[in-house]
Amino acid sequence: MRFTSPSPTRSSTRLAVALALAAGCGASHAAAPEKVTLGVAIPTATHGFTGGIVWWANQAKKELEAANPTLKVIVKTAASTPEQANQVQDLLVVNKMNALVILPLESASLTQPVSQVKNKGVYVTVVDRGLTNPAAQNAYVAGDNAAFGRLPAEYLAKRLNGKGNIVILRGMPSTIDNERVNAFQAEIKKHPGIKVLDAKYGNWNRDDAFKVTQDYLTRFKAIDAVWAADDDMAIGVLKAIEQAKRTDVKEVFGGAGAKFAVKKVLDGDKLVQADVSYSPKFIYDAIKMTATARLKGEALPARTIIPSVLITRDNARQFYFPESPY
């Protein structure tokens, strides 16, 4: 607080110094490597797969922060869409993130909140469940959802010799669920002898899958195969079938290569003889790719797809990782 008015020469010198400093800062900012604060917004471990996601995300954080001192990674998990929307906002306002890796809980609900932070200059990588407006994301990393739906359809058609009744359990309403189911249905259409009786949402959740399967078993007296579309849901399906003491179901096909399901395939289980890979490790890959690119000020390719493979008794050994959480 000055009580004497500064002389004109002093104030103009101050102004010149301030301007020079600002220019200098601007210049040096452009040349120096970017200091990256990477926000990671993922679902809480509601089921085995998301448990794997959380574990891999924290692995990525540990390894990347140790290797890069100018990188800060903040991992937030959310149980509901408003919570995740809040976290995305806080990561920008409070933590001042300049890059975001997000696995949206629901594609439609998170599109607006993510679009808002992208418009404020945050680089956005979306993993797995894509947003309904691709303009709201800079890069997309996912497993091969089309193969995830196609491979079980091919396998089941062969297993049932082209004839039979199948029921489908869908996941949570999201773009990837739509991709998978559409790919499955497209493949099944090539086998006119196979009839899809129904496709209801199981939300990738054992309890919901159990309830939905119970309803199916009550409504349909003859079911040849169940596409459970997820290994966690497959557990719910198997329990429901066991409880109803039904013998008509020949195969339950899950998905994502959870270690207990791969073990069943390895051991030659009666109902679970095949699976398809879709590892939660892709969050680790997405975080690593985003951090590496942003530290250099670069962008990622718009779409990166990690392939899915059919797992049968012959190659199950390669997909069995007992120490991993999923």
Among 46, 132, 292, 324, binds other proteins (CB under 8 A): 132
What is the C-alpha radius of gyration for the chain, rounded to an integer number of angstroms?
25
Among 45, 118, 201, 305, binds other proteins (CB under 8 A): 201
The interface region with other proteins, picked from 24-32, 80-88, 219-227, 300-308 by CB under 8 A, is: 80-88
For other proteins, give the closer residue by CB, 113 or 257. 113
Q: Does 90 bind other proteins (CB under 8 A)?
A: yes
What is the identity of the amino acid at 115?
S
For residue 110, give the H/E element and its range.
Answer: helix 107-119
The interface region with other proteins, picked from 102-110, 141-149, 154-162, 237-245 by CB under 8 A, is: 102-110
Among 93, 186, 222, 302, binds other proteins (CB under 8 A): 93
Shortest CA distance to 147 belongs to which of 173, 107, 176?
Answer: 176
Shortest CA distance to 71 belongs to which of 286, 281, 287?
Answer: 287
For other proteins, give the closer residue by CB, 129 or 150. 129
Rounded Cα distance, 180 and 148, in Å? 6
Measured on CA atoms in the order 93, 94, 95, 100, is the torsion positive or negative? Answer: negative
CA distances from 145 to 59, 107, 148, 152 (A): 24, 15, 5, 12
Residues 99 and 72: beta-carbon distance below 8 Å? no
Among 36, 99, 102, 110, binds other proteins (CB under 8 A): 110
Q: Does 81 bind other proteins (CB under 8 A)?
A: yes
Shortest CA distance to 255 belongs to which of 184, 303, 304, 159?
Answer: 184
For other proteins, give the closer residue by CB, 81 or 292. 81
Q: Does 80 bind other proteins (CB under 8 A)?
A: yes
For residue 178, give the H/E element and its range.
Answer: helix 175-189
Among 89, 161, 312, 318, binds other proteins (CB under 8 A): 89
Q: Does 173 bind other proteins (CB under 8 A)?
A: yes
Nearest approach in angstroms of CB 92 to other proteins is 9
The interface region with other proteins, picked from 112-120, 187-195, 270-278, 289-297 by CB under 8 A, is: 112-120
How many CB atoms are closer than 10 A to CB 106? 18
Give the footprint of other proteins on this chain (CB under 8 A): 80-82, 85-86, 89-90, 93-95, 106, 108-113, 116, 132-133, 173, 200-201
